[in-house]
Amino acid sequence: MQEEIEEISLSFIAEYAPNCYSAMVTGSASVENMTLNSDIDILIIDSVISRDYFESFFHRGRKIDCIVMPLIAIKDILKEESEKNSITYIDMLYKGTVIKDTNQYLQELKKYAIELRKKGPKPVSLFHQKMMLFYAYNLYEDLIDERDWGELLFIAVDLFNQLIILNNVRHNYWTTHGKWKYRYLVNYDKKYAEELVKSFNSFVAERNKTDFLLLAKENLTALGPKPRHISSRLNSLTVGNDFLTVSIKTTLINKDVYEVFLKEIKKELALYDCSLAMFYMRNDGDIRDESSYLIFIHGDEEILNFVVRPLIVSYIKGRGEHLAKNDMVLSLPYYLEPHSLFTNQGTYELTKSLLMHFNSIYEYVGEYDENLLLTYLMKFHFHVGMKLGFSIENYIQFNEYLTQLWLPFMLDKEYRKSFRELEEDKAVKIGEYKQLYGQQKEAFVENYSGILKNWKEDQENDRLIDDYTAKALSLMRDIFDTLNDDFFRRNQIPQFKLNQITADISDLEKTRWLSLSEILNRLYGSVLLSSNQKTYLAFACSSMLGGVMELNIIVENEN
C-alpha cells in the first residue's frame, strides 16, 4: 500500500502543485498506519504564499488533505507551535516521507523539527497549572452529583480530556489531538492510557461512574489539593518566576515617604515572613522604566498571587490619599526574562542568593559599597564561565549580553561635555553628533583591537571574533541614535577590583576571561551609572541565569 500512496501523492503534486518548492507525505500514510478509508495527508512548501492554509481534494479515488506552508515563514510557524506546546506541524515533518525537495530544504527542515521535538514542550507556568487543576476539580465534583445522564456524559467527556492534559503537563509531554492524542498517550504511559480508557468505557457502556471517579481522584490528588482561590484578574503587580514585582513611581527627592511605605508593607506581610523574602532597590536613573523604586517579593506563586498581592493592593487602596498627596503612584509592571544562553542550566536559586546579599548591604551598611559590589559582579562573571565552560562561543555570547546591558550608558568622559551641550533638536547639530559618534566608534574599535590581540593563538576563532565585533558595533550604532541627556546625568564610577583567577585552567582560558575582565573595566571606566543602576545590572546578571549556585560560590569570604 505504501508504494501506491507514494505514487498517488506524486501524481497529485504533478497535477495540482507542480511548481511547489517541496512536498512530503505525512500523517497515517507516513507511518504505515492507514485504513481503507484513511485520507492521504500531504505537506506542501510553497515559495509564493505568505501564510499557511488547508485544502481538501479528491484524486484517483482517494481523499487528499493538503497543508500548504510558506517557505519564508515555516521555521517561525514551527517555533511558535512549539512554544504553545503543540506538535502538529512538527510531527508532520518528523514522521513525513519526502516526495519532492528543492536544494535538500525539507531534509534540513526535518532536522530542525527533530531538534524542537527532542527539546520538548515549554513548561506550563505554575499559575496556569493551578487554573487547570481548579477546573478539573470542578468537573470531578459535578460528576459526583446525581444528574441527568446527558449532563453526566458531557461532564465526563470534559474531565476525560482534562485528565489527559494534566497528565501531559505533569510529565512535560507534547499535546496533540484526535487519534494522535491516544497514540501519544500510549507511547508515553501505556498502563495509564489503558486504565483511563477502561474506566471511561465502563462509565459509558455500563453507566457506572465509580471506576472513572476513583481514577480521576487519584490523578487529581497526585497533583495537589484543589486551590482555595483562583483568579485571572490582571493588575499592576506582576507575578512571574516566583517573584512578585511592585513598581513605584514618585517625583519626591525625599526617600522617607518610600521608607515608611516599605516598612508598612513588611508589617502587612509579617505573618508570612518565614516563607517570603523581600528585596528592594532605588532607581536613581533610567533602568528600563520610570519607576523610582522596585520591590521584589520572592515566594511560592500561589501565596504571591492569592495572599500577598491582595494584601498589597488593599494596602495601596487604603493609603490612596496619602500616596496621591505625595505624588506616588503604581507604575507599569517590570520584569526580566532569562537570557537564552543560560536556559536549562539548572541554576534556579542564584537570583535569590544574590539579591539577599545585595539587600543585606542596604540593611547593614546603609548604602552600597560600590567597589565591593563591582568585585562581586566580577566574581559572579568568572563563575559563570566555571559553570558553562570556558569556550569562546560562551564567552562571546555572555559578553554580547553584557554589552547590550551596558552600551546605552557608554560615553568616554572627554566627549561627555560635548554631548550635554547638544541642543534638543539634534537635526540642527547633526553634523556634530555624527562626528562625536564617529570618534566614539573609533575609540571602541581601538579598545577592542587591543583586547582581541590576546586571542591570536586561536586563529580558527577569527571569524567568531569578527562577527561579534560587527554585532557590537551595529548595536552601538542603534543605541547612539537614541541617546539623550538622561543617559549622562551621573558621575564617573569606580573601576572593578579584579578577582584572583584560579590556577587550574589553561593559560589561553585565563587570557580569554581576563580579557573580558579588561572589557568590563573599560566599559565601567566610561559608563555613567549610579550605584543603584549597578545594582540593577547585578540583578539582571542573576536573573538571566535563572539558577542555582550556592552563595558561597559566588561571594567568597573576604576575610
Question: The CATH number of the domain where 48 resides is what?
Answer: 3.30.460.10
Look up residue 504 and give its three cell numbers. Answer: 587550574
DSSP assignment of 433-483: HHHHHHHHHHHHHHHHHHHHGGGTT-GGGHHHHHHHHHHHHHHHHHHHTT-
Q: What is the pLDDT of residue 147?
A: 83
Rounded to 5°, the CA angle 98-99-100 comes to 100
Specify if 289 maps to a domain.
yes
Lowest mean pLDDT among 3-12, 46-55, 502-511: 502-511
Which amino acid, residue 292?
S
Q: What is the pLDDT of residue 140?
A: 92
Specify if 559 maps to a domain.
no
Q: What is the pLDDT of residues 210-252, one digit of tens each?
A: 899 999 999 898 887 887 655 544 334 556 556 676 666 554 4
Same domain, 358 and 308: no
Specify if 188 maps to a domain.
yes
Q: What is the pLDDT of residue 105?
A: 86
* End position of a domain, from candidates 119, 139, 173: 119
User: Which has the higher per-residue pLDDT, 363 or 205?
Assistant: 205
Q: What is the pLDDT of residue 180?
A: 78
Please say whether the beta carbons of 334 and 245 come within 8 A.
yes
Specify if 484 maps to a domain.
yes
Q: What is the pLDDT of residue 230?
A: 59
Dump strand ranges (E) for 291-395. Answer: 293-298, 328-330
Closest to 13 measured CA to CA, from 23, 5, 1, 26? 23
In this prediction, residues 103-120 reach a mean pLDDT of: 86
Same domain, 257 and 166: no
Please say whether the beta carbons of 389 and 466 come within 8 A.
no
Cα(9)–Cα(145) distance, rounded to whole angstroms?
52
Please say whether the beta carbons of 121 and 188 come within 8 A.
no
Same domain, 415 and 492: yes
Cα(202)–Cα(362) distance, rounded to whole angstroms?
64
Specify if 255 maps to a domain.
yes
pTM assigned to the model: 0.42
Residues in the chain: 559
Asked if the model's pLDDT at residue 369 lies above 50, the reply is no
Contacts 24+ apart (CB under 8 A), 234-239: 235/309, 235/313, 236/330, 236/331, 236/332, 236/333, 237/309, 237/312, 237/313, 237/330, 237/333, 238/333, 238/334, 238/335, 239/127, 239/301, 239/304, 239/305, 239/309
What sign results for the dihedral spanned by CA atoms 18, 20, 23, 29? Answer: negative
Same domain, 444 and 345: yes
- Total domains in the chain come to 4
Specify if 232 maps to a domain.
no
Look up residue 398 and give its three cell numbers. Answer: 555572555
Look up residue 26 and give its three cell numbers. Answer: 505525512
Cα(132)–Cα(529) distance, rounded to whole angstroms?
45
Lowest mean pLDDT among 87-96, 283-292, 545-554: 545-554
Specify if 228 maps to a domain.
no
What is the average pLDDT score of the chain?
63
Closest to 171 measured CA to CA, from 130, 221, 121? 121
Same domain, 425 and 516: yes
* End position of a domain, from candidates 119, 154, 175: 119
In this prediction, residues 132-140 reach a mean pLDDT of: 90
Same domain, 213 and 184: yes
Q: What is the pLDDT of residue 316?
A: 66
Pairing of strands 40-46, 22-26: antiparallel
Same domain, 217 and 101: no
**pLDDT-based confidence at 33, cuts 50/70/90?**
low
Same domain, 133 and 281: no
Same domain, 381 and 308: no
* End position of a domain, from candidates 119, 150, 175: 119
Specify if 41 maps to a domain.
yes
Same domain, 478 and 406: yes
Q: Which CATH number do you get for residue 299?
A: 3.30.70
Q: What is the pLDDT of residue 200?
A: 92
Cβ neighbour number for residue 459 with a 10 Å cutoff: 8
Structural domain boundaries enclosing 307: 238-330
Same domain, 157 and 286: no
User: Which has the higher per-residue pLDDT, 476 or 261?
Assistant: 261
In this prediction, residues 105-131 reach a mean pLDDT of: 80
Same domain, 544 and 455: yes
Strand partners, 281: 294
**pLDDT-based confidence at 332, cuts 50/70/90?**
very low
Cα(126)–Cα(303) distance, rounded to whole angstroms?
12
